[in-house]
Amino acid sequence: MGREALLEALRQEGERALAALHQRHDAEMAAREAAAQQRRDALRAAASRDWQMAAAAERQRCLAAGRRQTCALLLAGENALAERLRQQAAQLLPEVASRDPAALLRACAEELPPLSWAKVRVHPRDREVAARLFPSAEILPDPALSGGVVAETAEGRVRIDNSLEKRLERCWDDLLPELLAALERGDDDALAATP
C-alpha cells in the first residue's frame, strides 16, 4: 500500500471516527436536551402543583376569614336587634301597666312572701292601692317603675323587686328567642300577642 492509499485510508478512518464522534455528540446532546426537558417539565409540574396547593390554601384561608367576618357581622346584627327589641319591650311596659294598674299591683303584691314590709316602692298612680295592700309600710312613689312593686323589710335585709322592669329582665332570655323566631317567620300576630 502506497503512501497515498495510506493517507486516504487514514483520512477515511478519521472522517468515520469524526462522524461517529459527531453522532455520539449529537446523541448525547439529544439525550441531555431530553433529560433537561424532562427536568423542566417536572419542575413546571411541581411548580404548578405547588401553585395550585398554595392557591387552594389561600382560597381556604380567605373563605374561613369570610365565614368568620360573616359570623361576626351576624352576631353583631343579632345583638343590635336584641337590644332594640329589649328597648322596645321596655317602652311598652307603661302601656301594659296602664291597662289595669290596680289589678297588676295586686297580682304583683300577692306574689311577695308574707313578710312585714317596711318600704314599698310603686308607680305614683298606684300609691293609694299600695297603701291599702301594705297598710304598715312606707309607700314611696317611684316614677321609674312602670308597674308592679319593690318591697323591702326593715333595715333592708330582704328586698324583692317584682316590678315590670325586673320581670322583663328576668324573662328576657326566654322571651327573646320567641320574638326572634316570630320575626323570622314574619308572624305579626305572634309579635302582637307577646306580653
- Look at residue 103 in the predicted model and tell me its pLDDT: 96
What pLDDT is recorded for position 100?
A: 94
Q: What is the pLDDT of residue 114?
A: 93
C-alpha cell at 24: 455520539
Taking the C-alpha atoms of residue 136 and residue 116, their distance in angstroms, rounded to an integer, is 8
Classify the C-alpha dihedral 43-44-46-51 as positive or negative: positive
Reported for 114-119, long-range contacts at CB under 8 A and 24+ positions apart, including other chains, are: 115/151, 115/153, 115/158, 116/153, 116/154, 117/151, 117/152, 117/153, 118/152, 118/153, 118/154, 118/155, 119/151, 119/152
Pairing outcome for strands 159-163 and 138-141: unpaired
CATH architecture entry for 100-193: 2-Layer Sandwich (3.30)
Q: Where are the domains of the chain?
A: 100-193
Residue 112 CB neighbour total at 10 angstroms: 16
Whether residue 148 contacts residue 163, with contact meaning beta carbons closer than 8 Å, is answered with yes
| 89 closest CA partner among 176, 149, 183 | 176
pLDDT for the residue 194: 54
Show pLDDT as tens, one digit a residue, over the chain (195 residues). Answer: 678 887 788 788 888 888 888 898 888 888 889 888 999 888 898 888 989 999 899 999 999 999 999 999 998 998 998 999 899 999 999 999 999 999 999 999 999 999 999 999 999 999 999 999 999 999 999 999 999 999 999 988 999 999 999 999 999 999 888 888 888 888 666 555 555
DSSP 38-94: HHHHHHHHHHHHHHHHHHHHHHHHHHHHHHHHHHHHHHHHHHHHHHHHHHHHHHHHH
